[in-house]
C-alpha cells in the first residue's frame, strides 16, 4: 500500500541577495526603463486552523497525482500509470486537472476530470502547465526536443491553437496574471535563473534583474509556487516597423 506524505505549505518566500551590478546581470535593451524595487517586508503569520479550511488541494509525489480536502481528509489517488505523472493544475472552475505525464521518458501534457476519470492527452511535448484565469487557455513549456531549448507556449484548453510566445527561450514555470494579460516565467537564458514577464499576446516584455526561483518539490501543492522577490524591473518596449 502506497504511503503519501503531504506537506501543506501555506506561506513560502525566497531569500537572497540582489546586486544590480553583479556579473551575469541581463543587458538593459536600448530605450528600456529601470524601475526601482519596492521595499518588501518579511512575511510572517500565525498558524492556520486547518479544520476551518474548505475545498480540495491537488498535488503530486513525483509519481502520481493526488487530491485531498484542505483540512487533510479525503485523500484520493487520481493517476495510476507505471510512469511518472506530476505537475497538476486545477482549472479555475474546479472541473478539470491538467498534468504532466512521461510514458516514454519524455514530457507530455494530459488532462482529466477532477475525480480522476476521463484521462486524455493534450500535447506530446510539454510541462509546467497552468490555466488562464478564465479557463479558456493553458500556458506551458515544451521541452524543446533534441535542442532542449524550452519556451512558453499557450494553447486552447482542448489542446488546439498552440502558439509560442516570442522572447521566452528556455522558459519554464509560467504563471498568469489575475487579468490574464501577462505571463510570468522563469528562464536561465542569461546563465542564471531570472523571472521574466511577457504579454500573453506576445507583445512587450519585462525581466527582473537579480534572481528568481520557481519552486516545485514532491508533495507540494501547486499553489505554493510563488516567491517574494527583491528586484529591479526592466520594461522593454517592442519595436515596430515604419
Q: Is residue 10 part of a domain?
A: no
Mean pLDDT, the chain, rounded, equals: 73
User: What average pLDDT does this structure show over 196-202?
Assistant: 87
Q: Is residue 25 part of a domain?
A: no
Q: Is residue 23 part of a domain?
A: no
Number of domains in the chain: 1
The pTM of the full predicted model, rounded to 2 decimals, is 0.67
**Chain segment 204-230, per-residue pLDDT in tens:** 666 554 333 333 333 333 332 333 222
Categorize the per-residue pLDDT at 116 as very low, low, confident or very high, splitting at 50, 70 and 90.
very high
Tell me, what CATH number does 60's domain have? 2.120.10.30
**Chain segment 125-184, per-residue pLDDT in tens:** 999 999 999 999 999 999 866 566 889 999 999 999 999 998 888 899 999 999 999 999
With cell 475525480, the residue in question is 115
pLDDT of residue 238: 35
Q: What is the DSSP string of 155-206?
A: EETTS-S-EEPTT-TTEEEEEE-TTSSEEEEEE-TTSS-EEEEEETTS--EE
- The H-or-E segment that residue 35 falls in is strand 33-35
Return the higher-pLDDT residue of 201 and 234: 201
pLDDT of residue 115: 96
Q: Is residue 115 part of a domain?
A: yes
Amino acid at each position: 500500500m502506497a504511503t503519501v506524505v503531504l506537506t501543506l505549505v501555506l506561506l513560502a518566500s525566497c531569500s537572497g541577495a540582489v546586486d544590480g551590478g553583479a556579473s551575469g546581470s541581463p543587458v538593459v535593451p536600448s530605450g528600456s526603463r529601470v524601475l526601482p524595487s519596492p521595499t518588501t517586508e518579511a512575511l510572517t503569520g500565525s498558524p492556520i486552523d486547518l479544520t476551518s479550511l474548505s475545498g480540495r488541494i491537488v498535488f503530486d509525489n513525483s509519481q502520481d497525482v493526488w487530491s485531498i480536502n484542505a483540512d487533510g481528509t479525503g485523500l484520493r489517488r487520481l493517476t495510476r500509470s507505471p510512469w511518472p505523472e506530476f505537475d497538476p493544475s486545477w482549472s479555475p472552475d474546479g472541473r478539470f486537472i491538467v498534468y504532466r505525464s512521461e510514458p516514454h521518458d519524455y514530457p507530455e501534457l494530459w488532462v482529466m476530470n477532477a475525480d480522476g476519470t476521463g484521462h486524455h492527452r493534450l500535447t506530446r511535448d510539454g510541462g509546467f502547465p497552468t490555466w488562464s484565469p478564465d479557463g479558456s487557455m493553458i500556458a506551458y513549456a515544451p521541452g524543446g526536443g533534441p535542442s532542449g531549448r524550452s519556451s512558453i507556449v499557450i494553447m486552447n484548453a482542448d489542446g488546439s491553437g498552440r502558439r509560442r510566445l516570442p522572447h521566452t527561450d528556455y522558459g519554464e514555470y509560467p504563471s498568469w496574471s489575475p487579468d490574464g494579460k501577462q505571463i510570468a516565467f522563469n528562464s536561465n537564458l542569461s546563465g542564471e535563473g531570472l523571472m521574466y514577464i511577457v504579454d500573453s499576446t506576445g507583445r512587450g516584455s519585462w525581466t527582473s534583474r537579480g534572481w528568481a526561483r520557481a519552486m516545485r518539490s514532491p508533495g507540494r501543492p501547486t499553489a505554493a509556487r510563488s516567491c517574494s522577490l527583491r528586484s529591479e524591473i526592466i520594461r522593454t518596449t517592442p519595436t515596430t516597423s515604419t
